[in-house]
């Protein structure tokens, strides 16, 4: 509907002016002419300045990708507004998207035959989001004519999860790469001092310790511990989502996605190789272990598309954890279903160092609900005790330092022991 039409205000003003003039003539009352004059002038002015343009929406855009809580700008551009005096737009609210203004009402004054409207928005939750769905209306002078509503399609944006603060001072239990920040148990090229010994064939000359060599009369060299990188596989349990995603409270899937993003960012920054595996029947994904900043972008992209879906019977074999020897497996799970814990136990039985991170929210999902929920929580506690009794480490997600105690324990106990 991009043709100009008279507004009810113009029709009312014209009819009222005509009526007052007729009554003034019949009653010979000059006061009624004075009352009708402004309405008559506005009506004639609106008729003479009727716009001739053909307004249309040419662009409604924003960034295609952003992070949680990141402030972005959405803009709408209209052309063909010759003769228009003002443009109003109404945008509908979207779940998990905050806009400024919150009402979604926008207004702009055209410059020439174009007008641009904009608003600021931010996504509160990861995943696909829609921004800027609605319609706009243009008015001529004195709101005599209007055109619209002209609808515009929403801009689809992929929101990657935010990266919460996270640190892990405990190193990986069994580093096996070539370079990195984890100290090896064997001697090799590195920066941490190990010992001083007699020179042997193949030793580098820059390793010679000249003070001791001069004092003993025999060449001695310094030895260091090798510095290796490790491989970490993050396994996200997306079988189900516990909590209400419509509220502002974090669900189990929110905690799982954000904790995986935080661990991946920290470990990749340390120089480790990180991979991702998502356990879900809706969108199962696997990102092979690599290092570098590009790997973080891949992991965040996959995490932004995670959808909950129960694996069902027989899905365990297809979703088996594939990791090379020495890989640290971190399973992020609410510990309510059985598929993720079964796969974690199988990985531990194969000799892979395995840690389970509890992602069940501390609020919103409690044992004070109905009988089915209380039974589910009791079964969860029994499952945690059984996992710990069989040698698997279970730690709650608490942000920075969540993995430190268990990693130190695993390193001190000598990794490689299989879960019972």
188 & 61 share domain: no
Backbone CA torsion sign across 19, 21, 24, 27 = negative
Going by C-alpha positions, the residue among 399, 409, 411 that lies closest to residue 182 is: 411
Residue 319 sits in the same domain as residue 205:
no
In a domain, 176, yes or no: no
**The predicted structure's pLDDT at residue 369:** 52
Is residue 38 in a domain? Answer: yes
**pLDDT of amino acid 170:** 56
* Long-range CB contacts (within 8 A, 24+) of 113-116: 113/53, 113/79, 113/80, 113/81, 113/82, 114/77, 114/78, 114/79, 114/81, 115/77, 115/78, 115/81, 115/84, 115/87, 116/75, 116/76, 116/77, 116/78
Residues 192 and 249 in one domain: no
For the chain, 420 residues long, the average pLDDT of each consecutive 10-residue run is 78 82 80 80 80 81 86 87 84 83 86 85 87 86 82 87 76 49 48 75 81 88 66 86 75 88 86 85 76 86 82 58 80 83 83 85 58 76 81 82 74 51
pLDDT value of position 311: 63
Nearest to 237 by CA among 335, 349, 376: 335
Q: Phi-psi region for residue 271, left (φ > 0), alpha (ψ -120 to 50) or beta?
A: left
Which pLDDT does position 365 carry in this prediction? 53
User: Which strand (E) or helix (H) includes residue 48?
Assistant: helix 30-48
**Total number of domains constituting the chain:** 4
Burial degree of 18 (CB within 10 A; 0-12, 13-18, 19+): middle
Same domain, 320 and 305: yes
Instruction: State whether 62 and 135 are in the same domain.
Output: yes
**Together in a domain, 196 and 300:** no
Structural domain including 340 reads 231-413
The reported pTM is: 0.71
Task: Judge if 387 and 269 occupy the same domain.
Answer: yes
Instruction: Identify the pLDDT of residue 115.
Output: 86
**Domain check: are 15 and 86 in the same one?**
no
Report pLDDT for 417.
46
| Domain presence at residue 419 | no
Query: Residue 316: its pLDDT value, please?
Result: 52
Q: pLDDT value at position 175? A: 47
pLDDT of 173: 52
Residue 26 lies in a domain: yes
Domain shared by 143 and 119, yes or no: yes
């Amino acid at each position: 509907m991009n043709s100009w039409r008279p507004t009810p205000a113009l029709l009312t003003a014209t009819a009222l002016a005509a009526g007052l003039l007729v009554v003034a003539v019949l009653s010979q009352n000059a006061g009624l002419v004075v009352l009708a004059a402004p309405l008559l002038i506005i009506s004639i002015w609106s008729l003479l300045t009727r716009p001739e343009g053909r307004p249309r929406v040419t662009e409604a855009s924003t960034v295609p990708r952003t992070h949680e809580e990141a402030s972005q700008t959405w803009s709408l551009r209209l052309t063909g507004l010759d003769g228009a005096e003002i443009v109003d737009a109404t945008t509908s609210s979207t779940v998990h998207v905050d806009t400024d203004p919150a009402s979604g009402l926008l207004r702009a004054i055209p410059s020439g035959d174009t007008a641009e409207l904009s608003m600021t928005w931010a996504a509160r939750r990861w995943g696909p989001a829609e921004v800027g769905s609605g319609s706009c209306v243009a008015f001529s002078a004195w709101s005599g004519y209007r055109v619209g509503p002209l609808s515009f399609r929403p801009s689809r944006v992929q929101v990657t999860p935010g990266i919460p603060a996270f640190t892990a001072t405990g190193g990986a239990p069994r580093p096996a790469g070539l370079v990195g920040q984890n100290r090896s148990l064997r001697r090799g090229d590195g920066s941490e001092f190990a010992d001083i010994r007699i020179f042997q064939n193949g030793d580098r000359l820059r390793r010679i310790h000249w003070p001791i060599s001069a004092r003993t009369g025999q060449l001695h060299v310094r030895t260091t511990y090798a510095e290796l990188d490790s491989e970490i596989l993050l396994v996200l349990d997306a079988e189900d989502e516990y909590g209400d995603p419509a509220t502002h409270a974090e669900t189990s899937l929110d905690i799982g996605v954000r904790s995986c993003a935080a661990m991946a960012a920290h470990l990749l920054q340390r120089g480790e190789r990180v991979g991702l595996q998502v356990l879900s029947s809706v969108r199962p994904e696997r990102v092979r272990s690599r290092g570098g900043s590009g790997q973080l972008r891949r992991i965040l992209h996959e995490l932004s598309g995670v959808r909950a879906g129960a694996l069902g019977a027989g899905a365990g074999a297809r979703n088996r954890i594939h990791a090379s020897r020495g890989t640290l497996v971190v399973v992020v799970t609410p510990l309510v279903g059985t598929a993720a814990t079964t796969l974690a136990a199988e990985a531990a039985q194969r000799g892979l160092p395995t840690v389970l991170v509890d992602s069940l929210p501390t609020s919103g999902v409690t044992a004070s609900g109905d009988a089915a929920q209380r039974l589910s929580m009791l079964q969860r506690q029994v499952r945690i005790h059984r996992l710990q009794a069989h040698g698997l480490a279970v730690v709650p997600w608490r942000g920075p330092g969540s993995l430190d105690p268990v990693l130190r324990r695993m390193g001190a106990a000598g990794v490689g022991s299989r879960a019972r």
